[in-house]
């Protein structure tokens, strides 16, 4: 399969003061399901079942799709590639090996932030202490706990935020705001921020408002109190809506595309999953 067969979603954003055209490839939710003899029977059985979940009949596997998306990023000679979580479906050594091989094959600089699947198995649960314990395994690609990876691109700051527990800690919010105060930025994270037009579609697919900062009414209606925003998370969501520096928010997690404004002229873009061949080409142009 040629990478020319991929047609990423295309997004154009104009930024005042930008000196030249810039391009960014976003890849999300690849859900690699690799396992081998280093894993016990339970994990290998999990891998087999999850492989069946993500591989459509007659379609390439998740690893081949990710390789093709990276090849497309290289062919397009993008200025940056950003991976917004759930690149692997669970933290096996075989998945880490493949992720390392994929990232090493990139021509562009890249940022990676984890999703809720990257760092846990179904039998460990999506708890913050599990994430903290797993984070050293990702130190080659994501260095901060909790995550806030930074890239610079000709005056535009790219911020890859780990919100994989549906929450942001106060130190994350402070760091993001400090960086954004310095000039125009783009936010990349796994879980979308709650936007009224997004909630019905998310609930239709997932039977719960699995976004960051859903309001109390939605959480009560769907018995999802565990998604209630902490004070720092709620503060971040308010800040995004009010910020003059954030020119776009890019995320994944819910496995379907969506686009809507979070403030006047500024949009959140939910990118379709890599395991379905989804990716997004972002073009930045002078305003």
pTM (whole model) above 0.75: yes
Q: What is the count of structural domains for the chain?
A: 1
The answer to whether position 49 is within a domain reads yes
The SS3 of residue 111 is strand
C-alpha span between 115 and 87 (Å, rounded): 8
The answer to whether position 50 is within a domain reads yes
Which structural domain range is residue 274 located in? 7-286
CA distance between the termini of the chain: 37
The answer to whether position 263 is within a domain reads yes
The answer to whether position 1 is within a domain reads no
The answer to whether position 191 is within a domain reads yes
Query: DSSP assignment, residue 105?
Result: T
C-alpha span between 254 and 177 (Å, rounded): 26
pLDDT at 220 over 60: yes
C-alpha span between 19 and 21 (Å, rounded): 7
Mean pLDDT of the chain, nearest integer: 93
Q: Dump pLDDT digits (tens) for 58-100.
A: 678 999 999 999 999 999 999 999 999 999 999 999 999 999 9
C-alpha span between 240 and 170 (Å, rounded): 15
C-alpha span between 34 and 238 (Å, rounded): 39
The answer to whether position 81 is within a domain reads yes
């Amino acid at each position: 399969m040629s990478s020319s067969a991929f047609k990423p979603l295309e997004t154009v954003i104009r930024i005042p003061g930008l000196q030249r055209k810039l391009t960014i490839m976003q890849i999300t939710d690849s859900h690699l399901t690799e396992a081998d003899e280093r894993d016990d029977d339970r994990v290998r059985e999990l891998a087999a079942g999850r492989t069946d979940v993500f591989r459509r009949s007659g379609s390439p596997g998740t690893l081949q799709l990710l390789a093709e998306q990276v090849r497309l990023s290289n062919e397009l000679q993008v200025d940056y590639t950003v991976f917004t979580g759930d690149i692997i479906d669970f933290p096996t050594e075989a998945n880490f090996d493949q992720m390392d091989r994929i990232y090493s094959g990139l021509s562009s600089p890249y940022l990676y932030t984890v999703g809720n699947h990257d760092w846990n198995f179904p039998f460990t649960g999506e708890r913050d202490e599990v994430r903290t314990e797993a984070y050293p395994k990702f130190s080659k690609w994501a260095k901060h706990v909790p995550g806030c990876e930074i890239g610079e691109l000709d005056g535009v700051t790219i911020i890859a935020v780990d919100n994989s527990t549906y929450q942001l800690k106060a130190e994350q919010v402070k760091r993001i705001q400090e960086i954004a105060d310095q000039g125009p930025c783009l936010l990349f994270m796994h879980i979308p921020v709650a936007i009224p037009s997004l909630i019905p579609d998310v609930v239709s697919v997932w039977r719960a408002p699995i976004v960051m900062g859903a309001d109390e009414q939605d959480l009560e209606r769907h018995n999802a109190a565990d998604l209630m925003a902490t004070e720092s998370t709620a503060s971040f969501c308010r800040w995004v809506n009010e910020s003059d520096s954030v020119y776009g928010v890019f995320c994944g997690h819910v496995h379907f595309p969506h686009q809507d404004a979070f403030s006047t002229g500024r949009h959140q873009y939910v990118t379709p999953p890599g395991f379905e061949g989804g990716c997004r080409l972002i073009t930045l142009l002078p305003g």
